[in-house]
């Protein structure tokens, strides 16, 4: 008698069973394809006191596979972007709520400033799991982490400067 796999409920025919092409092969392939997922575009929200993207751009995409999400965000300032005065954050896609905890969110990113070059950044998932704030080394001598904001890292931001973040995290 046929059984099913526990996670994707794929049909496993018994060796004595006749194989049904539609159920045992095609149905299983369809389930595997659906589980693999595909990249979905989303519009991240840039958060912070007094920030506005203006004629800059912000794009995002994510891939959900089971309870794991891979995410990419790119934010580039334009000539009318306003960097505000507070700490910056970026939203996760609508309906995607990350598990809050040290061991469930992995991210890497960078900022690029024409005047001062590249700066590595990381992120911290905020309580509630729908927004993450950006962190960077703000004091190279002490390796202290601080918030990415209007003057960090590396001084003032300008048109053409950008932030790129890639993250992998577990969802609820």
36 vs 77, residue with greater confidence: 77
Please tell me whether residues 7 and 63 are part of one structural domain.
no
How many angstroms separate the CA atoms of 93 and 43, rounded? 7
What is the pLDDT averaged over residues 58-87? 92
pLDDT at 43 over 70: yes
Q: Is the pLDDT of residue 118 over 90?
A: no
Encode burial over 141-169: b for 16+ CB neighbours within 10 A, e otherwise: eeeeeebbbbebbbeebeeebbbebebeb
Q: Which long-range contacts (CB under 8 A, 24 or more apart) does 39-46 make?
A: 39/63, 40/64, 40/93, 42/93, 42/94, 44/73, 44/75, 44/90, 44/91, 44/92, 45/90, 45/91, 46/75, 46/88, 46/89, 46/90
Provide the pLDDT confidence category of residue 143 given band limits of 50, 70 and 90: low
Q: What is the pLDDT of residue 119?
A: 85
Number of domains into which the chain is organized = 2
Q: Is residue 161 very low, low, confident or very high in pLDDT (cuts 50, 70, 90)?
A: very high
Same domain, yes or no, for 63 and 147? yes
Region 88-108: mean pLDDT is 76
Q: Over the chain, what is the mean pLDDT?
A: 84
Is residue 109 predicted with pLDDT exceeding 90? no
Same domain, 9 and 81: no
Parent domain of 105: 40-170
Strands 89-91 and 57-65, sheet pairing? unpaired
Range 32-50 average pLDDT:
88
Kindly state the percentage of the chain with pLDDT values over 90: 28
**Does one domain contain both 127 and 59?**
yes
Average confidence (pLDDT) over 116-129: 81
53 vs 100, more confident: 53
* Distance separating alpha carbons of residues 147 and 58, to the nearest angstrom: 19
Q: Domain check: are 15 and 59 in the same one?
A: no
Per-residue pLDDT band for 53 (boundaries 50, 70, 90) equals: very high
Q: What is the mean pLDDT of residues 77-89?
A: 91
Residues 45 and 32 placed together within one structural domain of the fold: no
């Amino acid at each position: 008698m046929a059984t099913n796999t526990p996670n994707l409920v794929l049909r496993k025919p018994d060796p004595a069973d006749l194989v049904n092409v539609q159920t045992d092969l095609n149905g299983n392939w369809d389930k595997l394809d659906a589980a693999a997922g595909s990249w979905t575009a989303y519009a991240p929200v840039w958060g912070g006191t007094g920030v506005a993207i203006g004629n800059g751009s912000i794009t995002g995409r994510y891939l959900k596979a089971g309870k794991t999400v891979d995410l990419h965000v790119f934010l580039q300032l334009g000539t009318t972007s306003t960097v505000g005065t507070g700490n910056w954050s970026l939203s996760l896609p609508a309906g995607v709520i990350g598990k809050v905890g040290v061991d469930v969110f992995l991210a890497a990113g960078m900022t690029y400033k024409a005047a001062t070059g590249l700066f590595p950044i990381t992120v911290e998932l905020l309580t509630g799991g729908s927004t993450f704030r950006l962190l960077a080394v703000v004091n190279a001598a002490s390796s202290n982490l601080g918030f990415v904001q209007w003057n960090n890292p590396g001084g003032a931001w300008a048109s053409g400067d950008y932030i790129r973040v890639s993250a992998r995290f577990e969802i609820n």
